[in-house]
Protein backbone atom coordinates (compact mmCIF):
# COMPACT_ATOMS: atom_id res chain seq x y z
CA UNK A 1 0.00 0.00 0.00
CA UNK A 2 1.17 3.51 -0.79
CA UNK A 3 0.50 6.55 1.39
CA UNK A 4 0.42 10.20 0.39
CA UNK A 5 1.78 13.13 2.35
CA UNK A 6 -0.43 14.70 4.99
CA UNK A 7 -2.62 17.72 4.32
CA UNK A 8 -4.54 19.99 6.65
CA UNK A 9 -8.26 19.78 7.30
CA UNK A 10 -10.51 21.42 9.88
CA UNK A 11 -13.80 19.73 9.13
CA UNK A 12 -15.56 17.28 6.84
CA UNK A 13 -13.86 15.58 3.88
CA UNK A 14 -15.52 13.48 1.19
CA UNK A 15 -14.92 11.90 -2.22
CA UNK A 16 -16.99 12.85 -5.24
CA UNK A 17 -19.44 10.17 -6.49
CA UNK A 18 -17.45 9.78 -9.73
CA UNK A 19 -14.31 9.00 -7.62
CA UNK A 20 -12.28 11.76 -9.31
CA UNK A 21 -12.16 14.49 -6.66
CA UNK A 22 -11.74 14.97 -2.94
CA UNK A 23 -13.39 17.88 -1.12
CA UNK A 24 -11.80 19.15 2.10
CA UNK A 25 -12.89 21.85 4.54
CA UNK A 26 -9.99 24.03 5.71
CA UNK A 27 -11.26 26.83 7.97
CA UNK A 28 -13.34 29.10 5.69
CA UNK A 29 -12.12 27.48 2.49
CA UNK A 30 -13.34 24.53 0.44
CA UNK A 31 -10.44 22.79 -1.27
CA UNK A 32 -11.06 20.42 -4.20
CA UNK A 33 -8.17 18.04 -4.95
CA UNK A 34 -7.57 15.49 -7.65
CA UNK A 35 -7.79 12.00 -6.15
CA UNK A 36 -4.74 10.61 -7.97
CA UNK A 37 -2.28 13.51 -7.71
CA UNK A 38 -3.92 15.32 -4.74
CA UNK A 39 -3.19 18.60 -6.50
CA UNK A 40 -5.60 21.46 -5.85
CA UNK A 41 -8.18 21.69 -8.66
CA UNK A 42 -10.46 24.37 -7.23
CA UNK A 43 -10.44 26.63 -4.18
CA UNK A 44 -13.59 28.31 -2.89
CA UNK A 45 -14.00 30.84 -0.07
CA UNK A 46 -16.95 30.48 2.29
CA UNK A 47 -18.56 33.08 4.54
CA UNK A 48 -18.15 31.04 7.71
CA UNK A 49 -16.75 27.78 9.04
CA UNK A 50 -17.91 24.77 7.05
CA UNK A 51 -20.19 22.39 8.98
CA UNK A 52 -21.08 19.98 6.20
CA UNK A 53 -19.98 19.09 2.66
CA UNK A 54 -22.05 17.12 0.15
CA UNK A 55 -21.48 16.37 -3.52
CA UNK A 56 -24.28 16.26 -6.05
CA UNK A 57 -24.71 12.78 -7.52
CA UNK A 58 -23.41 13.90 -10.92
CA UNK A 59 -20.24 15.33 -9.25
CA UNK A 60 -20.87 18.60 -11.08
CA UNK A 61 -21.96 20.63 -8.04
CA UNK A 62 -20.96 20.71 -4.39
CA UNK A 63 -22.57 22.40 -1.40
CA UNK A 64 -21.25 23.58 1.96
CA UNK A 65 -23.51 23.94 4.97
CA UNK A 66 -22.63 26.96 7.10
CA UNK A 67 -25.07 26.18 9.86
CA UNK A 68 -23.74 28.70 12.38
CA UNK A 69 -24.66 31.42 9.87
CA UNK A 70 -27.87 29.61 8.76
CA UNK A 71 -26.60 29.53 5.19
CA UNK A 72 -25.73 27.16 2.34
CA UNK A 73 -23.24 27.90 -0.43
CA UNK A 74 -22.86 25.85 -3.60
CA UNK A 75 -20.48 25.86 -6.57
CA UNK A 76 -20.01 24.24 -9.96
CA UNK A 77 -16.72 22.53 -10.81
CA UNK A 78 -17.04 23.07 -14.55
CA UNK A 79 -18.25 26.67 -14.23
CA UNK A 80 -16.13 28.38 -11.54
CA UNK A 81 -18.01 31.65 -12.02
CA UNK A 82 -21.35 30.01 -11.04
CA UNK A 83 -22.24 30.35 -7.35
CA UNK A 84 -25.32 29.83 -5.24
CA UNK A 85 -26.19 31.10 -1.77
CA UNK A 86 -29.24 30.04 0.25
CA UNK A 87 -30.19 32.04 3.34
CA UNK A 88 -33.31 31.05 5.27
CA UNK A 89 -33.12 34.13 7.49
CA UNK A 90 -34.77 33.79 10.94
CA UNK A 91 -35.92 30.23 10.16
CA UNK A 92 -32.30 29.05 10.10
CA UNK A 93 -30.84 25.97 8.46
CA UNK A 94 -30.14 22.80 10.43
CA UNK A 95 -29.23 20.55 7.49
CA UNK A 96 -28.84 20.62 3.71
CA UNK A 97 -28.69 17.84 1.12
CA UNK A 98 -28.85 17.31 -2.65
CA UNK A 99 -31.79 15.81 -4.47
CA UNK A 100 -31.07 12.83 -6.78
CA UNK A 101 -31.29 14.99 -9.93
CA UNK A 102 -28.41 17.19 -8.67
CA UNK A 103 -30.42 20.32 -9.52
CA UNK A 104 -32.27 20.86 -6.25
CA UNK A 105 -31.02 21.54 -2.72
CA UNK A 106 -33.18 20.43 0.20
CA UNK A 107 -32.82 22.30 3.50
CA UNK A 108 -34.38 21.74 6.91
CA UNK A 109 -34.97 24.77 9.12
CA UNK A 110 -34.16 25.02 12.79
CA UNK A 111 -36.63 23.30 15.12
CA UNK A 112 -37.91 21.30 12.11
CA UNK A 113 -40.46 23.99 11.20
CA UNK A 114 -40.25 23.28 7.48
CA UNK A 115 -38.34 21.49 4.77
CA UNK A 116 -37.62 23.54 1.65
CA UNK A 117 -36.74 22.34 -1.86
CA UNK A 118 -34.70 24.96 -3.74
CA UNK A 119 -34.40 24.73 -7.52
CA UNK A 120 -31.09 25.69 -9.15
CA UNK A 121 -32.81 25.83 -12.55
CA UNK A 122 -35.60 28.37 -12.04
CA UNK A 123 -34.92 29.56 -8.42
CA UNK A 124 -38.35 28.29 -7.31
CA UNK A 125 -38.81 26.84 -3.82
CA UNK A 126 -41.35 24.43 -2.33
CA UNK A 127 -42.09 24.12 1.39
CA UNK A 128 -43.09 21.02 3.34
CA UNK A 129 -44.29 21.65 6.87
CA UNK A 130 -43.14 19.88 10.03
CA UNK A 131 -40.38 17.49 8.96
CA UNK A 132 -39.69 15.00 11.74
CA UNK A 133 -35.89 15.33 11.80
CA UNK A 134 -33.19 17.65 10.51
CA UNK A 135 -30.63 15.23 9.06
CA UNK A 136 -32.71 12.04 9.13
CA UNK A 137 -36.18 11.06 8.01
CA UNK A 138 -35.59 11.66 4.27
CA UNK A 139 -34.91 8.84 1.81
CA UNK A 140 -34.87 8.65 -1.99
CA UNK A 141 -35.58 5.73 -4.27
CA UNK A 142 -32.64 4.20 -6.08
CA UNK A 143 -33.87 5.52 -9.43
CA UNK A 144 -34.22 9.02 -7.95
CA UNK A 145 -37.88 9.41 -8.91
CA UNK A 146 -39.50 9.56 -5.47
CA UNK A 147 -38.72 10.78 -1.96
CA UNK A 148 -40.12 9.60 1.36
CA UNK A 149 -40.14 12.31 4.03
CA UNK A 150 -41.13 11.75 7.66
CA UNK A 151 -43.31 14.48 9.15
CA UNK A 152 -45.14 14.93 12.43
CA UNK A 153 -48.31 16.83 13.19
CA UNK A 154 -51.14 16.45 15.72
CA UNK A 155 -48.87 14.13 17.75
CA UNK A 156 -48.77 11.56 14.93
CA UNK A 157 -46.01 10.45 12.55
CA UNK A 158 -46.59 10.53 8.80
CA UNK A 159 -44.69 9.55 5.66
CA UNK A 160 -45.08 11.90 2.70
CA UNK A 161 -44.27 10.55 -0.76
CA UNK A 162 -43.08 13.19 -3.22
CA UNK A 163 -42.27 13.13 -6.90
CA UNK A 164 -38.69 14.30 -7.40
CA UNK A 165 -39.69 15.66 -10.82
CA UNK A 166 -42.47 18.07 -9.81
CA UNK A 167 -42.00 17.91 -6.00
CA UNK A 168 -45.72 17.40 -5.61
CA UNK A 169 -47.01 15.24 -2.76
CA UNK A 170 -48.12 11.95 -4.31
CA UNK A 171 -49.49 10.51 -1.10
CA UNK A 172 -49.40 10.66 2.70
CA UNK A 173 -50.00 7.90 5.22
CA UNK A 174 -49.72 7.58 8.98
CA UNK A 175 -47.28 5.15 10.52
CA UNK A 176 -47.79 3.17 13.70
CA UNK A 177 -44.92 4.67 15.69
CA UNK A 178 -44.78 6.53 18.97
CA UNK A 179 -41.70 8.54 18.00
CA UNK A 180 -40.39 7.71 14.51
CA UNK A 181 -36.58 7.41 14.54
CA UNK A 182 -35.88 7.10 10.80
CA UNK A 183 -36.98 5.54 7.52
CA UNK A 184 -35.29 4.13 4.42
CA UNK A 185 -36.31 2.86 0.99
CA UNK A 186 -35.22 -0.64 0.08
CA UNK A 187 -32.54 -0.72 -2.67
CA UNK A 188 -35.06 -2.13 -5.16
CA UNK A 189 -37.60 0.62 -4.29
CA UNK A 190 -40.32 -1.88 -3.38
CA UNK A 191 -40.70 -1.11 0.35
CA UNK A 192 -40.01 1.46 3.05
CA UNK A 193 -38.74 0.46 6.47
CA UNK A 194 -39.69 2.65 9.43
CA UNK A 195 -38.45 2.12 12.96
CA UNK A 196 -39.42 3.61 16.29
CA UNK A 197 -37.39 5.33 18.97
CA UNK A 198 -35.15 3.22 21.25
CA UNK A 199 -37.85 3.31 23.92
CA UNK A 200 -40.20 1.20 21.78
CA UNK A 201 -39.02 -1.86 19.83
CA UNK A 202 -40.90 -1.59 16.58
CA UNK A 203 -39.86 -2.15 12.95
CA UNK A 204 -42.50 -1.52 10.29
CA UNK A 205 -42.38 -2.42 6.59
CA UNK A 206 -44.62 -0.34 4.32
CA UNK A 207 -45.40 -0.56 0.63
CA UNK A 208 -45.18 2.71 -1.34
CA UNK A 209 -48.99 2.99 -1.30
CA UNK A 210 -49.04 3.01 2.51
CA UNK A 211 -49.99 -0.59 3.28
CA UNK A 212 -48.23 -2.04 6.32
CA UNK A 213 -46.64 -5.25 5.04
CA UNK A 214 -45.22 -6.38 8.36
CA UNK A 215 -44.78 -5.25 11.93
CA UNK A 216 -41.83 -6.72 13.81
CA UNK A 217 -41.30 -6.51 17.55
CA UNK A 218 -38.63 -8.78 19.02
CA UNK A 219 -39.38 -8.01 22.68
CA UNK A 220 -41.06 -5.54 25.02
CA UNK A 221 -40.07 -3.62 28.17
CA UNK A 222 -36.55 -2.76 27.11
CA UNK A 223 -34.50 -0.47 24.90
CA UNK A 224 -35.23 -1.46 21.32
CA UNK A 225 -33.79 -0.77 17.87
CA UNK A 226 -30.40 0.90 17.55
CA UNK A 227 -29.33 0.33 13.91
CA UNK A 228 -31.08 -0.81 10.72
CA UNK A 229 -29.55 -1.60 7.32
CA UNK A 230 -30.86 -3.02 4.04
CA UNK A 231 -28.69 -5.49 2.20
CA UNK A 232 -27.63 -4.19 -1.26
CA UNK A 233 -29.60 -7.03 -2.90
CA UNK A 234 -32.79 -5.94 -1.03
CA UNK A 235 -33.44 -9.51 0.14
CA UNK A 236 -32.44 -8.97 3.77
CA UNK A 237 -33.01 -6.36 6.45
CA UNK A 238 -30.60 -6.31 9.40
CA UNK A 239 -31.82 -4.93 12.72
CA UNK A 240 -29.36 -4.25 15.53
CA UNK A 241 -30.78 -3.91 19.02
CA UNK A 242 -29.77 -2.77 22.47
CA UNK A 243 -30.00 -6.38 23.69
CA UNK A 244 -26.69 -7.12 21.87
CA UNK A 245 -28.41 -9.22 19.20
CA UNK A 246 -28.49 -8.78 15.44
CA UNK A 247 -31.64 -10.03 13.71
CA UNK A 248 -32.02 -10.45 9.95
CA UNK A 249 -35.40 -10.45 8.20
CA UNK A 250 -36.13 -11.85 4.72
CA UNK A 251 -38.00 -9.99 2.00
CA UNK A 252 -40.54 -12.73 1.29
CA UNK A 253 -42.28 -13.08 4.67
CA UNK A 254 -40.48 -10.22 6.49
CA UNK A 255 -39.93 -12.59 9.38
CA UNK A 256 -36.51 -13.09 11.04
CA UNK A 257 -34.55 -16.04 9.69
CA UNK A 258 -31.39 -15.64 11.76
CA UNK A 259 -30.23 -14.15 15.06
CA UNK A 260 -26.59 -13.39 15.78
CA UNK A 261 -25.85 -12.98 19.48
CA UNK A 262 -22.77 -11.08 20.68
CA UNK A 263 -21.64 -13.06 23.70
CA UNK A 264 -18.71 -12.53 26.06
CA UNK A 265 -17.37 -16.05 25.47
CA UNK A 266 -17.22 -17.12 21.83
CA UNK A 267 -16.98 -20.89 21.35
CA UNK A 268 -17.34 -21.30 17.60
CA UNK A 269 -18.10 -22.18 14.88
CA UNK A 270 -14.94 -24.07 13.99
CA UNK A 271 -14.84 -22.48 10.55
CA UNK A 272 -14.54 -18.97 12.01
CA UNK A 273 -11.12 -17.37 12.45
CA UNK A 274 -10.25 -15.13 15.40
CA UNK A 275 -7.58 -12.49 14.76
CA UNK A 276 -6.17 -10.82 17.86
CA UNK A 277 -3.99 -7.72 17.64
CA UNK A 278 -0.71 -8.18 19.50
CA UNK A 279 2.39 -6.05 19.88
CA UNK A 280 5.86 -7.54 20.09
CA UNK A 281 9.47 -6.41 19.54
CA UNK A 282 11.17 -6.99 16.23
CA UNK A 283 13.96 -9.60 16.03
CA UNK A 284 16.34 -9.42 13.08
CA UNK A 285 19.13 -11.65 11.90
CA UNK A 286 22.30 -10.32 10.21
CA UNK A 287 20.56 -10.04 6.84
CA UNK A 288 17.70 -8.00 8.31
CA UNK A 289 15.13 -10.75 7.84
CA UNK A 290 12.42 -11.42 10.38
CA UNK A 291 12.99 -14.55 12.47
CA UNK A 292 9.87 -14.76 14.54
CA UNK A 293 7.64 -16.34 11.91
CA UNK A 294 6.95 -19.64 13.64
CA UNK A 295 3.20 -19.27 13.18
CA UNK A 296 2.36 -19.24 9.45
CA UNK A 297 -1.18 -18.01 10.17
CA UNK A 298 -0.01 -14.74 11.71
CA UNK A 299 -0.30 -11.88 9.27
CA UNK A 300 2.20 -9.10 9.69
CA UNK A 301 2.49 -5.47 8.74
CA UNK A 302 5.89 -6.02 7.13
CA UNK A 303 7.67 -2.82 8.14
CA UNK A 304 11.32 -3.76 8.74
CA UNK A 305 12.38 -0.11 8.81
CA UNK A 306 10.90 0.09 12.30
CA UNK A 307 13.15 -2.69 13.44
CA UNK A 308 16.29 -0.67 12.81
CA UNK A 309 14.91 1.93 15.21
CA UNK A 310 14.19 -0.68 17.84
CA UNK A 311 10.42 -0.29 17.55
CA UNK A 312 7.88 -2.99 18.22
CA UNK A 313 5.58 -4.35 15.55
CA UNK A 314 1.83 -4.83 15.57
CA UNK A 315 0.36 -7.92 13.97
CA UNK A 316 -2.64 -10.21 14.08
CA UNK A 317 -2.30 -13.50 15.88
CA UNK A 318 -4.76 -16.31 15.20
CA UNK A 319 -6.16 -17.63 18.49
CA UNK A 320 -8.21 -20.72 19.20
CA UNK A 321 -11.71 -21.01 20.64
CA UNK A 322 -13.07 -20.37 23.19
CA UNK A 323 -12.34 -16.63 23.24
CA UNK A 324 -13.25 -14.34 26.12
CA UNK A 325 -14.13 -10.72 25.34
CA UNK A 326 -14.08 -7.88 27.81
CA UNK A 327 -17.40 -6.09 28.23
CA UNK A 328 -18.19 -2.66 29.62
CA UNK A 329 -21.12 -2.08 31.94
CA UNK A 330 -22.94 1.18 31.49
CA UNK A 331 -24.49 2.92 34.54
CA UNK A 332 -28.23 2.33 34.58
CA UNK A 333 -28.97 5.90 35.68
CA UNK A 334 -27.39 7.58 32.63
CA UNK A 335 -28.96 8.12 29.17
CA UNK A 336 -27.68 6.89 25.81
CA UNK A 337 -26.04 3.71 27.10
CA UNK A 338 -23.01 2.43 25.21
CA UNK A 339 -24.39 -1.00 24.56
CA UNK A 340 -25.98 -2.90 21.74
CA UNK A 341 -25.26 -2.96 17.99
CA UNK A 342 -23.96 0.53 17.26
CA UNK A 343 -22.18 -0.27 14.00
CA UNK A 344 -23.79 -2.34 11.25
CA UNK A 345 -22.87 -2.59 7.56
CA UNK A 346 -23.32 -5.00 4.63
CA UNK A 347 -20.67 -5.97 2.11
CA UNK A 348 -21.48 -4.94 -1.44
CA UNK A 349 -22.26 -8.52 -2.49
CA UNK A 350 -24.59 -9.01 0.53
CA UNK A 351 -22.50 -12.03 1.53
CA UNK A 352 -21.09 -10.60 4.76
CA UNK A 353 -22.26 -8.34 7.53
CA UNK A 354 -20.04 -6.52 10.05
CA UNK A 355 -21.13 -5.43 13.52
CA UNK A 356 -19.68 -3.79 16.58
CA UNK A 357 -21.36 -4.29 19.94
CA UNK A 358 -20.85 -0.98 21.73
CA UNK A 359 -20.22 -2.53 25.14
CA UNK A 360 -17.50 -4.68 23.51
CA UNK A 361 -15.86 -1.80 21.59
CA UNK A 362 -12.61 -3.61 20.73
CA UNK A 363 -14.26 -6.47 18.80
CA UNK A 364 -15.42 -6.45 15.18
CA UNK A 365 -17.73 -9.31 14.23
CA UNK A 366 -18.04 -10.43 10.61
CA UNK A 367 -20.99 -12.71 9.84
CA UNK A 368 -21.44 -14.98 6.83
CA UNK A 369 -25.06 -14.64 5.72
CA UNK A 370 -24.88 -17.61 3.33
CA UNK A 371 -23.81 -19.97 6.12
CA UNK A 372 -25.64 -18.05 8.89
CA UNK A 373 -22.63 -18.16 11.17
CA UNK A 374 -19.66 -16.15 12.35
CA UNK A 375 -16.97 -15.87 9.68
CA UNK A 376 -14.33 -13.91 11.58
CA UNK A 377 -13.74 -12.00 14.79
CA UNK A 378 -11.18 -9.22 15.00
CA UNK A 379 -10.06 -8.30 18.51
CA UNK A 380 -8.26 -4.97 18.72
CA UNK A 381 -6.17 -3.45 21.50
CA UNK A 382 -8.13 -0.20 21.42
CA UNK A 383 -11.83 0.59 20.78
CA UNK A 384 -12.81 0.57 17.12
CA UNK A 385 -13.41 4.11 15.86
CA UNK A 386 -14.64 3.28 12.36
CA UNK A 387 -15.05 0.30 10.05
CA UNK A 388 -16.23 0.29 6.43
CA UNK A 389 -16.58 -2.13 3.53
CA UNK A 390 -14.73 -1.71 0.27
CA UNK A 391 -17.35 -0.51 -2.27
CA UNK A 392 -16.17 -3.15 -4.77
CA UNK A 393 -14.68 -6.16 -2.96
CA UNK A 394 -15.64 -8.01 0.24
CA UNK A 395 -12.90 -6.22 2.18
CA UNK A 396 -13.15 -4.33 5.47
CA UNK A 397 -10.94 -1.47 6.65
CA UNK A 398 -11.01 -0.34 10.27
CA UNK A 399 -9.16 2.05 12.57
CA UNK A 400 -8.74 2.43 16.32
CA UNK A 401 -7.10 5.82 16.76
CA UNK A 402 -3.62 4.33 16.36
CA UNK A 403 -0.88 4.64 13.73
CA UNK A 404 -2.10 1.45 12.05
CA UNK A 405 -4.74 0.57 9.49
CA UNK A 406 -6.40 -2.83 9.80
CA UNK A 407 -7.95 -4.81 6.96
CA UNK A 408 -9.86 -8.07 6.58
CA UNK A 409 -10.83 -10.16 3.56
CA UNK A 410 -12.18 -13.73 3.40
CA UNK A 411 -8.55 -14.77 2.80
CA UNK A 412 -7.18 -13.26 6.03
CA UNK A 413 -6.39 -10.06 7.90
CA UNK A 414 -3.46 -7.68 8.21
CA UNK A 415 -2.14 -4.73 10.19
CA UNK A 416 -0.61 -1.98 8.06
CA UNK A 417 1.78 0.51 9.62
CA UNK A 418 1.24 4.10 8.45
CA UNK A 419 4.71 5.53 7.68
CA UNK A 420 3.81 9.10 8.68
CA UNK A 421 5.17 10.62 11.90
CA UNK A 422 2.64 11.44 14.63
CA UNK A 423 -0.27 10.38 12.42
CA UNK A 424 -3.11 8.40 14.00
CA UNK A 425 -6.27 7.29 12.19
CA UNK A 426 -9.48 8.42 13.85
CA UNK A 427 -11.76 8.00 10.81
CA UNK A 428 -11.65 6.59 7.29
CA UNK A 429 -13.64 6.72 4.07
CA UNK A 430 -13.46 4.64 0.90
CA UNK A 431 -13.35 6.17 -2.54
CA UNK A 432 -16.48 4.99 -4.42
CA UNK A 433 -14.37 3.00 -6.90
CA UNK A 434 -12.47 1.22 -4.10
CA UNK A 435 -9.01 2.25 -5.33
CA UNK A 436 -8.13 4.54 -2.43
CA UNK A 437 -9.06 5.57 1.09
CA UNK A 438 -9.09 8.80 3.03
CA UNK A 439 -7.52 8.50 6.48
CA UNK A 440 -8.26 11.30 8.93
CA UNK A 441 -6.29 12.45 11.93
CA UNK A 442 -7.56 15.25 14.14
CA UNK A 443 -6.20 18.10 11.99
CA UNK A 444 -4.66 16.34 8.99
CA UNK A 445 -5.45 13.64 6.48
CA UNK A 446 -3.70 11.42 3.99
CA UNK A 447 -4.75 9.08 1.21
CA UNK A 448 -3.73 5.49 0.76
CA UNK A 449 -3.97 3.69 -2.56
CA UNK A 450 -5.29 0.18 -2.13
CA UNK A 451 -4.35 -2.70 -4.43
CA UNK A 452 -7.04 -4.73 -6.14
CA UNK A 453 -7.81 -8.19 -4.85
CA UNK A 454 -6.66 -10.67 -7.50
CA UNK A 455 -8.94 -13.44 -6.27
CA UNK A 456 -12.07 -11.39 -7.00
CA UNK A 457 -13.38 -10.03 -10.28
CA UNK A 458 -16.74 -9.32 -11.82
CA UNK A 459 -17.06 -12.77 -13.37
CA UNK A 460 -16.27 -14.76 -10.26
CA UNK A 461 -18.46 -15.67 -7.34
CA UNK A 462 -17.44 -14.89 -3.81
CA UNK A 463 -17.61 -18.46 -2.57
CA UNK A 464 -14.48 -19.54 -0.80
What structural domains and CATH numbers belong to the chain? 1-87 (2.40.10.480)
**What is the reported pLDDT for 1?**
87
Mean pLDDT of all residues belonging to the chain: 91
**What is the reported pLDDT for 283?**
61
**What is the reported pLDDT for 334?**
78
Please give the Cα distance from 425 to 340 (Å, whole number).
24
**What is the reported pLDDT for 457?**
55
Report the chain's C-alpha Rg in angstroms: 24
**What is the reported pLDDT for 293?**
44
**Block means of pLDDT (10 residues each) for the chain, length 464 residues?**
95 97 96 96 95 97 95 94 92 95 96 94 91 97 97 96 95 96 97 96 97 96 95 97 96 95 93 94 53 43 43 89 89 80 97 97 97 97 97 96 96 95 96 96 95 62 38
Pick from 158, 151, 226, 236: nearest CA to 191? 236
**What is the reported pLDDT for 353?**
98
**What is the reported pLDDT for 456?**
59
Within 8 A by CB and 6+ apart from 373, the residues are: 269, 271, 272, 367
With beta carbons less than 8 A apart as the criterion, state whether 154 and 131 touch: no
Output the CA–CA distances (angstroms, integers) from residue 257 to 206, 239, 260, 263, 359, in the order listed: 19, 12, 10, 19, 25
Please give the Cα distance from 410 to 389 (Å, whole number).
12
With beta carbons less than 8 A apart as the criterion, state whether 350 and 307 touch: no
**What is the reported pLDDT for 400?**
97
**What is the reported pLDDT for 451?**
86
Instruction: Name the 3-class secondary structure at 112.
Output: helix
- Prediction pTM value: 0.90
Pick from 78, 166, 187, 83: nearest CA to 124? 166
Starting at the edge strand found earlier in the chain, the sheet holding 13-15 runs: 13-15, 21-26, 29-34, 40-45
Please give the Cα distance from 180 to 108 (Å, whole number).
17
Output the CA–CA distances (angstroms, integers) from residue 136 to 62, 68, 140, 205, in the order listed: 20, 19, 12, 18
Amino acid sequence: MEFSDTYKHTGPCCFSPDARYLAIAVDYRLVIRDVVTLKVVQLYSCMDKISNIEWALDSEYILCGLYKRAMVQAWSLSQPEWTCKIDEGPAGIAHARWSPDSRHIITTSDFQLRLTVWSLVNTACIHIQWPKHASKGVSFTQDGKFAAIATRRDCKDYVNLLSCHTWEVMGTFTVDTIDLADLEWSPNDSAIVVWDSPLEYKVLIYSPDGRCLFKYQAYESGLGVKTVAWSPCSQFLAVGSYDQTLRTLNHLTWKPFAEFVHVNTVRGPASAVVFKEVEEPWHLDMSGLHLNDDNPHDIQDGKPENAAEGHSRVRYKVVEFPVNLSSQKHPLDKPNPKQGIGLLAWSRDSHYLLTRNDNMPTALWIWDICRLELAALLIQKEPIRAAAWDPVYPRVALCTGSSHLYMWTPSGACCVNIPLPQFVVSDLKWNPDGTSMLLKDRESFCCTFVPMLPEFNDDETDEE
